[in-house]
Structure 1
Amino acid sequence: MNLKNIFLGAMALSMVSGVALAGALDEPDNMAPFFTDTSMKTMKPEADFKAAWASTAKDKQDMMMKECQDGAMSKPHAEFCANLMMYAGHK
């Protein structure tokens, strides 16, 4: 019985922490406006990227900027974050 409780606790913890790791940069709805294709491999040109950024809600912009400034969070999205920092007027 004790082993069962330990296993269930560990599984619940892994599920909760997995959800906590997903951020704004991992949400397809947040990222889709910045890409030309559904696979999100090709980013839009500068003017379209800036327009997509301008139409993004302020709270989402703040979350995306915060994640791009975090080295660990931004690593899988390095090209996107580089563009975001350059085109979003980050100084």
Structure 2
Amino acid sequence: MNIKNIFLGAMALSMISGVALAGALDEPDNMAPFFTDSSMKTMKPEADFKAAWAATPKDKQDKMMKECQDAAMSKPHAEFCATLMAYGGANK
């Protein structure tokens, strides 16, 4: 019985922490406006990127900027974050 409780507790903790690790940069709805394709491999040109950034709600902009400034969070999105800092960071 005790092992079962430990296992269930560990499983619940891993599920909760897994949800906490997903951020604004991991949500397809947040990222799709910045890419030309559904696989999100090709970013839009500068003018379209800036327009998508301007259309993004302020709270999402803040979350995305914060995650791009965090080295660990931004690593999988390095190209996007570099572009965001170059174009979006100056317009904040």
What TM-score bracket applies, with the shorter chain setting the length?
A: over 0.9
Letter in 2 for 1:12: A
RMSD over equivalenced CA pairs, Å = 1.1
Q: Go from structure 1 to structure 2 and tell me whether the alpha carbon gap of 1:90 and 1:74 turns closer, same or farther (over 3 Å shift).
A: farther
Distance in 1, Cα, partners of 2:91 & 2:10: 41
Q: What whole-Å deviation, never above 9, does each CA across 1:31-90 have from its counterpart, x for those lacking one?
A: 000000000000000000000000000000000000000000000000000000001116
**Residue equivalent to 2:69:** 69
**Residue equivalent to 2:79:** 79
**Residue equivalent to 1:28:** 28
Q: Go from structure 1 to structure 2 and tell me whether the alpha carbon gap of 1:16 and 1:6 turns closer, same or farther (over 3 Å shift).
A: same
| Structure 1 length-normalised TM | 0.98
Letter in 2 for 1:5: N
The percentage of counterpart residues that share the same residue type is 87
User: How many pairs align?
Assistant: 91
Structure 1 residues not aligned, in runs of 5+: none
**Residue equivalent to 2:44:** 44
Structure 2 residues not aligned, in runs of 5+: none
Letter in 1 for 2:65: M
Distance in 2, Cα, partners of 1:85 & 1:16: 30
Distance in 1, Cα, partners of 2:13 & 2:55: 36
Residues 1:10 and 2:10 are matched in the alignment: yes
